Structure 1
């Protein structure tokens, strides 16, 4: 991948800010229920006062937000401040290499990767702002990005889908993994609402073993689904994934819980996944996920970035998809989350299933920190 010619990035200050907002309607998944929405926001400032924003994945369990902020400050920030960087990729590679032993020693490969990813996101924003270009344009993309309304809960999902359709969404994804009767009833209600031509997908959040996944996929066939996401545990044996893929009439999707270049290479080169879904706040940031997206597209896979956090990461995901191009969507959580709008401000509206990115430099976000002050957590 040819990278933009960034100016030298001399980071003078790194901040990690934690926010948590209680919600009235919980977000229900097959592995647990979210009663609040957290976010860890990264702010980097260079020696000339330019600022970049990033976000570290932390949505569940929400107690992990404070830990990731402390991990960033104690382990990653001192390395980032050591010297200037020729661009985000150089910093990403150096942080990944130098924190590998710590990740192994602490058993925290995931949180360490997430911290590096959030920093990487902020550095790409900073570099693009220094160049005066929106990131999507700097990376050769176009402004319009297709999106879908995600996270439809198993309790009356059609009501939320109707609201999101009125807001401009034209594709939807339902949470499944709650038993055949409930999942099928929810799918029928959604199909009755949106019709047979509207893209509809499902996410099992690693709920099943291989035999159950096959049975559920076969049962879901009449609903004309675009994909079945994470039917198995991400660490299930490769032969289980292969068996489900061979017998499922619904294309399989995964990626939010894949970590590392080699693991993504295997996923893209293999015949199991038809849809590749990296989360740039979980692993890779732009430095890792741009290559994943371009390789997935070259392999004929659908590239659909995963995101279920605050607004900085959502807008970053839109820029990532814009840069990679091709068919596919960016995930937009349909559930209420004030941290989405306030942190991604100004968030693009949805019109006929599309979001249009602005011409503002970098990610183009200006988080409303003052408005979110009541929800900021000392960590």
Structure 2
């Protein structure tokens, strides 16, 4: 349940909204079943009200590789003029206003995804501002009773996976997630290696929508020997639900998905069925905190595990941590294991992993003051 402070809010007027785009070049590309990432983008959003309070958010911008700058322009040229100068009582009012106000142009341009992502990033910034206005940590404002959450190392490539896993474990991780969906023999060898490294700790695998139902039915059952915590996106998110149901009937490994679900109806479908054991909304990709906080609580109510998906810069990662702490449950926060200063310099306490967990602070909002000057060399827009 949300804090009572939300129910006693005073109107506030947004005075400025600005997005900043950055790219960090990778020495080792991040490989998925559908492509390679040669750099890490980040679109950070700064929102300020007329009283001088500032909030920070982040827009999902990983694909296509050229899309980050476009999303920054959508924030600066479309969303900002629609918000600035208007008074609101709560973040949900801003979310609803810009969602409804851009619905036709999103349809006309054929870009519902980029609009949903930019709206989500602005929403995260407004929630940060909103919590700062009240002098309370965001995780507390969202109803949390504790500030320590479990994490796991994600983004482990199919090449040099053992080296990446060892490095993650040395940084304090106790759980790992490997990217699979490549050569089946190599996938199995990598899973065996990581299982040996992590011992009885958490191990998951992510296919990144890489299998057809035929391949999934052939390959997934044999993965039970690795005692996986979950098998993530073995099928495309838009495949008929009957295919997901058929796979669930054939495998013992828990199934996970959610980062590519972008509607209330989509989440209602997965929560009304026993196909998914782990549900993973991405607050920077769709819904922000306004939509996803309620969905996260519904996930827990349905008896499933809420594990926020995240792969980007530090501000969105930190917001995801606050949501997980705010709603509770036994889920884990996804922390990318690849090199990325756009993440590490802005994720606050998430950089300090101890025994597979992190502890959020009690500072207002997200609890950080981003120093964008420190990454000026990576700015592209």
| Pairwise same-fold verdict (TM > 0.5) | yes
Partner of 1:144: 148
Partner of 1:190: 194
- The answer as to 2:85 corresponding to 1:61 is no
| Counterpart secondary structure, 1:280 | coil
CA offset at residue 344 of structure 1?
2.5
Partner of 2:102: 99
CA offset at residue 267 of structure 1?
1.4
Equivalent of 2:370, from 354, 362, 367?
367
Partner of 1:289: 292
Return the alpha-carbon distance in structure 2 between the equivalents of residues 63 and 336 of structure 1. Answer: 20
* Long gaps (5+) in structure 2: none
Q: Which moved more, 1:126-135 or 1:214-223?
A: 214-223
| Counterpart secondary structure, 2:153 | strand
CA offset at residue 96 of structure 1?
1.2
- The answer as to 2:327 corresponding to 1:298 is no
How many residues are aligned here?
377
1:108-129 alpha-carbon deviations (Å, 9 max, x no partner): 1111000110000000000100
Partner of 1:336: 339
Equivalent of 2:54, from 31, 51, 55?
51
Cα RMSD for the two superposed structures: 1.2
Return the alpha-carbon distance in structure 1 between the equivalents of residues 79 and 315 of structure 2. Answer: 20
CA offset at residue 60 of structure 1?
2.5
| Counterpart secondary structure, 1:45 | strand
Map 1:1-379 → 2, pairs under 5 A: 2=2, 4-5=6-7, 6-141=9-144, 142-195=146-199, 197-345=200-348, 347-378=350-381
Instruction: Assess if the C-alpha contact under 8 Å between 2:349 and 2:361 holds in 1.
Output: no
Return the alpha-carbon distance in structure 1 between the equivalents of residues 314 and 121 of structure 2. Answer: 13
Return the alpha-carbon distance in structure 1 between the equivalents of residues 62 and 239 of structure 2. Answer: 23
Return the alpha-carbon distance in structure 2 between the equivalents of residues 62 and 344 of structure 1. Answer: 23
Instruction: Assess if the C-alpha contact under 8 Å between 1:318 and 1:330 holds in 2.
Output: yes
TM-score, length-scaled by structure 1: 0.97
Instruction: Assess if the C-alpha contact under 8 Å between 1:345 and 1:367 holds in 2.
Output: no
| Counterpart secondary structure, 1:60 | coil
TM-score, length-scaled by structure 2: 0.97
1:207-237 alpha-carbon deviations (Å, 9 max, x no partner): 0111111222112110000101000111011
Return the alpha-carbon distance in structure 2 between the equivalents of residues 200 and 59 of structure 1. Answer: 24
Q: Which moved more, 1:186-195 or 1:116-125?
A: 186-195
Return the alpha-carbon distance in structure 2 between the equivalents of residues 248 and 172 of structure 1. Answer: 21
1:74-104 alpha-carbon deviations (Å, 9 max, x no partner): 2211111251111101111121122111111
Return the alpha-carbon distance in structure 2 between the equivalents of residues 115 and 315 of structure 1. Answer: 17
| Counterpart secondary structure, 2:236 | coil
